[in-house]
Amino acid sequence: MTSADFTSDEMMTIAASRALSNSDVCFVGIGAPSAACNVARLSHAPDITLIYESGTIGTAPQVLPLSIGDGELCDTAVTTVSVPEMFRYWLQGGRVTVGFLGAAQLDRFGNINTTVIGDYDHPKTRLPGGGGAPEIASSCGEIFITLKQSKRSMVSKIDFFTSFGHGEGGDHRQRIGMTTRGPTLLVTDLAIWKPDPETKEFVVTSLHPGVTRETVQETCGWSVRFATDLEETPAPTAAELAVLRDLKARTEKAHGGSKKNGAES
């Protein structure tokens, strides 16, 4: 295996994992965020504290969980607390540095929809809903987001505000009393995006290897801004790929080939 042999999904997961540090206390979403957070834990950030919505603190799963209620999370946690304690003491108490979320729809200001596609009363698709994501988006120190790019997922206007990002941009969070930073990073299968310091609109700061500006624009529903000092994302190393692929293999074996275990992201 060489570092050149990787998929766009693997690039996305590994690039997202690199953003996490050993000292982070991270509130983890299921799916792609869970994969990225656990790759970080199994590689460069072994002391990271992972928290899942079900109340598991300091969990260290050997396979990716099917849901927040997966027994693997509780079995490997330092402790498990009640959901009210998790949200009131840990999350709203300002003890979580990073919230790592996915999205069904995302706009250029990092606002997230995971509720419905189409009209709320007569939706085309009814999605799982927000769960704890709205509170995570408002109470964590900062928010990282990861998702695959497409014009269906990256839209000019989301159909429903599930989790508040930067609202209309600028100082919208501050104007409505939010004191946390909100979305500070978006990692897709094509690029790394960060919010403009003033407008808070996501700007592409790094293209993944082999990706062009045209491809990024073709898979995004708004007019994309690119940083003047646009970089190329470092390719995954052989060590990073080994960690991710071992995790996927264990997950696949444990869940009997389930396609809903988040291991594909």
Does residue 203 sit within a domain?
no
Identify whether 97 is part of a domain.
Answer: yes
pLDDT at 69: 87
Domain assignment of residue 174, yes or no: yes
The domain that holds 100 is classified in CATH as 3.40.1080.10
What pLDDT does residue 257 have?
55
Total domain count, the chain: 1
Phi-psi region of 139 (alpha: psi -120 to 50; beta: other; left: phi over 0): alpha
Predicted local confidence at residue 255, as pLDDT: 86
Q: Is 211 within a domain?
A: no
Q: Is 198 an annotated catalytic residue?
A: no
Nearest 10 degrees: Cα torsion 62, 64, 69, 71: -30
| pLDDT for position 77 | 96
- Structural domain span for residue 140: 8-186+235-254
Amino acid 256: pLDDT? 77
Which residue in 16, 233, 43 sits closest to 144, CA to CA? Answer: 16
- pTM of the predicted model as reported, rounded to 2 decimal places: 0.92
Q: Which is catalytic among the residues 53, 72, 135, 201?
A: 53
Confirm whether 191 is domain-assigned.
no
Q: Are strands 79-80 and 142-147 parallel, antiparallel or unpaired?
A: unpaired
Q: Mean pLDDT in each 10-residue stretch from start to end of the chain (265 residues)?
A: 77 98 95 95 98 95 92 94 94 96 97 96 93 95 98 97 98 97 98 98 98 98 98 98 97 73 40
Residue 263 lies in a domain: no
Q: Output the 3-class SS for 113-166.
A: ECCEEECCCCEEEECCCCCCHHHHHHHCCEEEEEECCCCCCECCCCCCCCECCC
In a domain, 217, yes or no: no
Angle between helices 238-254 and 32-42 (to 10 degrees): 120
DSSP the chain: --TT---HHHHHHHHHHHT--TT-EEEEPTTHHHHHHHHHHHTT-TT-EEE-TTSEES---SS--SSTT-HHHHHT-SEE--HHHIIIIIITTT---EEEE--SEE-TT--EE-SEEE-SSSEEEE----TTHHHHHHHSSEEEEEE---TTTB-SS-SS-SB-SSTTSTTHHHHTT--S--EEEEEESSEEEEE-TTT--EEEEEEPTT--HHHHHHT-SS---EEEEEEEPPPPPHHHHHHHHHHHHHHHHHTTT-TTSSTT-
Residue 108 has φ and ψ, to the nearest 5°, of: -70, -10
Q: Are 130 and 163 in contact (CB under 8 A)?
A: yes
Residue reference for tokens 């293999």? 249
Q: Is residue 165 part of a domain?
A: yes
